[in-house]
Amino acid sequence: MKARHRFLSLLIFAAAAAVLAAAVSVYLTWEKAIAPTVPPVPSSFDRQLVLHGSRVAALGDCAVCHTAPGGKPYAGGLPLATPFGTIYTTNITPDTETGIGSWSLEAFTRAMRRGISRDGHQLYPAFPYVHYTRMSDGDIAAAYAFLMQRDPVVSKAPDNALIFPLNFRPLVAFWNVLFLREGPEARDASRDDKWNRGRELVNGLGHCAACHTPLNPIGGEQWGKAFDGGVVDGWEAPSLNTLTASPHPWTKSQLIAYLRTGMSSQHSAAAGPMLPVTQELATVPEEDVDAIATYLLSLQKPRIRDVMPPDHAGADKTSIQRGAVLFSAACAACHGENSPMQSLGERPSLATSSTVNAATPRNTVQMMLEGVQWQGEREVRYMPPFKHLLNDRQVADIANYLRATYTDQPPWKDVVQTAAEIRKGDQSR
Ligand code: HEC
Ligand code: HEC
Ligand code: HEC
């Protein structure tokens, strides 16, 4: 009897807890639809506001994600590979059926600040609203005006292919409790305007942490590790708070050059997912990039190189020798001493390259496999992909050779394995 009684009260307790949990989740995930509006007449927007909006869109890389390969700008359809499946970007042109033509500024603002679509459904955080929430009201209104002035394009994104249970959108509400801190940051009165604007651009529109901060297993940025460096699309996004770890410290002018031209004479050239970021930053006024550089330099931690003495012990000598032969055959025409690219093009020497000096071989391997895409008239930036010419061991041999020849850093470990893993990731996409 007694046991049964206890069982019953347990059952009642469990039922009450379930009802409470259901009520809490309804409360958390319930979002109202915002009534559709008639698209504003494009000419009704102030020209200055629209102009400012184009700058905002560039700083936020909206077109980079919302344009499919070969597709119309902002019409969406680009697949984003996540550990949880594929998410397609949506159409943000002012088409009323398939785009955001019937969205009021209020609905747009809610999407940017809280990741909720006009009809009330939760958006996935592959859309970096956890960062855009830091934008000012003025920037959001300008982006809205700019997008509403685009040509409407009829285009519906393919359905997402996400794993269970993440294909159930309301779950994002719980994720938001952990990772969304809504609204702009308060001004830091101890710093000047440029620093404050830089912080707003880096943490907000620029969403730099989305790539440059390590992620946890549920796709949130790890707490307390902002800008410690992350991995995106198989590339390493280096830490942004120990930039001074490269052989030549990053100065402000080097940073501005890198961010606006994709090239800094004493460091890296931007490749992989960073290249489009720099192509967008090339179109905004220098004062914005200056503010970004100012803020980044204020984040720097002490130099790592000074506390880590170089150690070449353990280098694989035969691998390095094989790498030297391969380098002279495949790479020296461009990267060798006195090659036209080095002597005429003011290209960074591999000795100062952050890529070759990095703690992991990931981006050096990526460079070899993928090269630098043909940029049309900017042909000097071209590097052919070697993924069909070199096998994993050859890639590793060249990497080991570069590391030993151009840097005083300890040898990389397991480069063959890194190459194999990166190739495997490529095929699954
Ligand atoms: C890193 C990629 C990425 C960037 C950069 C990005 N978006 Fe998106 N955005 C997405 C994805 C993915 C979705 C769809 C999310 C979903 O379906 O849950 C989306 C959805 C949206 C939506 C909701 C559309 C709808 O129909 O619900 C709006 C509005 C939007 N983005 C605006 C912008 C603006 C404005 C910018 C630039 C400031 C921007 N996005 C930059 C990835 C991105
Ligand atoms: C879509 C992902 C992505 C975003 C967003 C992004 N980055 Fe990067 N970033 C990368 C990757 C990947 C690299 C490495 C590229 C390479 O080695 O060619 C990189 C490299 C860099 C470097 C060079 C670091 C070094 O040590 O060589 C700087 C500086 C940088 N990013 C700054 C920024 C800033 C500032 C922002 C925001 C305005 C930003 N990044 C946004 C992915 C990203
Ligand atoms: C046709 C010319 C060409 C060839 C051949 C070539 N590269 Fe490149 N490489 C480039 C260009 C252009 C860049 C972009 C940066 C620049 O302009 O310096 C680059 C960048 C790199 C970088 C990144 C440097 C940094 O930090 O920005 C590495 C590493 C690299 N190449 C390695 C190699 C290796 C290894 C080979 C041979 C397997 C090779 N490259 C062959 C043209 C070439």
From 31, 61, 66, mutation site for ligand 1 pocket: most ligand atoms within 8 A of C-beta: 66
Assess whether pLDDT exceeds 50 at residue 120: yes
Q: What is the pLDDT of residue 303?
A: 56
pLDDT at 427: 44
Dist. CA 210–CA 277, nearest whole Å: 12
Side-by-side strand order, sheet with 85-88: 79-82, 85-88, 161-162
Task: Note the Cα 415 to chain centre separation in Å.
Answer: 24
What is the distance, to the nearest Å, from the Cα of residue 361 to the centroid of all Cα atoms in its chain? 19
Check: CB of residue 222 under 8 Å from CB of residue 214: yes
Q: Which residues are CB-contacts of 147 (< 8 A; sequence separation ≥ 6)?
A: 53, 57, 62, 74, 92, 93, 94, 100, 108
Whether residue 20 lies inside any domain: the answer is no
Q: Specify if 378 maps to a domain.
A: yes
Rounded mean pLDDT, 90-95 = 98
Q: Is 131 annotated as a binding residue?
A: no
Residue 315, classified by CB atoms within 10 Å of its CB into exposed (0-12), middle (13-18) or buried (19+), is middle
Q: Give the angle 93-32-166 at the CA atoms, nearest 5°.
A: 75
**Residues 332 and 291 grouped into a single domain:** no
Q: Which domain holds residue 396?
A: 316-428
- Strand ranges in 5-121 using DSSP code E only, listed in sequence order: 79-82, 85-88
Q: 299: domain CATH number? A: 1.10.760
Q: Report the range of poorest mean pLDDT among 71-85, 90-104, 200-214, 309-323.
A: 309-323
Q: What are phi and psi of 174, to 5 degrees?
A: -70, -40
Could you give the CA distance from residue 96 to residue 404 in angstroms, rounded to a whole number? 58
> Would you put residue 74 in left (φ > 0), alpha (ψ -120 to 50) or beta?
left
Q: Are residues 331 and 300 in the same domain?
A: no
pLDDT digits (tens, 9 = 90+) for 257-297: 999 998 888 888 898 999 999 999 999 999 999 999 999 99
Name the domain boundary from 126, 155, 184. Answer: 155
267 annotated as belonging to a binding site for a ligand: no
Is the domain of 300 the same as that of 344? no
CA-nearest residue, atom 21 of ligand 3: 367
Residues 228 and 279 in one domain: yes
The Cα 175–Cα 84 span in angstroms is 14
Task: Say whether both 94 and 144 belong to one domain.
Answer: yes
Q: Are residues 239 and 284 in the same domain?
A: yes
Whether 232 lines ligand 2, by a CB cut-off of 6 Å, is yes
How far is the C-alpha of 213 from the C-alpha of 339, rounded, in Å? Answer: 37
Determine if ligand 1 sits within 6 Å of the CB of residue 230: no
Whether residue 60 sits in one domain with residue 110: yes
The reported pLDDT for the residue numbered 298 is 93
Structural domain total, the chain: 3
Phi and psi at residue 87, to the nearest 5°: -115, 135
Q: Residue 59 is encoded by which pair of tokens? A: 């700083």
- Ligand 1 atom closest to Cα of 144? 35
Percent of the chain predicted with pLDDT > 70 = 90
Residue 299 falls within a domain, yes or no? yes
Answer yes or no: is the C-beta of 348 below 6 A from any ligand 2 atom. Answer: no
Q: Report if residue 231 sits inside a domain.
A: yes
Kindly state whether residue 165 falls inside one of the protein's structural domains: no
Q: Is residue 286 part of a domain?
A: yes
- Ligand 2 pocket, residue 247 CB under 6 Å: no
Same domain, 288 and 361: no
211 is in an annotated binding site: yes
Write the pLDDT tens digit of every residue in 200-228. 999 999 999 999 999 998 899 999 999 99
Q: Are residues 148 and 46 in the same domain?
A: yes
Residue 388, annotated as binding a ligand: no
Contacts 24+ apart (CB under 8 A), 109-114: 109/137, 109/140, 109/144, 110/34, 112/140, 112/143, 113/140, 113/182, 113/183, 114/176, 114/180, 114/182
Q: pLDDT category, 378, cuts 50, 70, 90?
A: low
Name, in order, each residue with C-beta under 8 angstroms of 222's C-beta and a sequence gap of 6 or more: 213, 214, 215, 216, 228
| Residue 248 reports pLDDT greater than 90 | no
- Whole-model pTM: value is 0.82
pLDDT in tens, 5-43: 666 677 777 777 777 776 776 666 678 999 999 888 888
Q: Are residues 331 and 390 in the same domain?
A: yes
Average pLDDT over all residues of the chain = 89
Residue 406 has which token pair? 């151009």
The ligand minimizing its distance to the Cα of 340 is 3
Same domain, 213 and 275: yes
Assess whether 320 and 424 both reside in one domain: yes
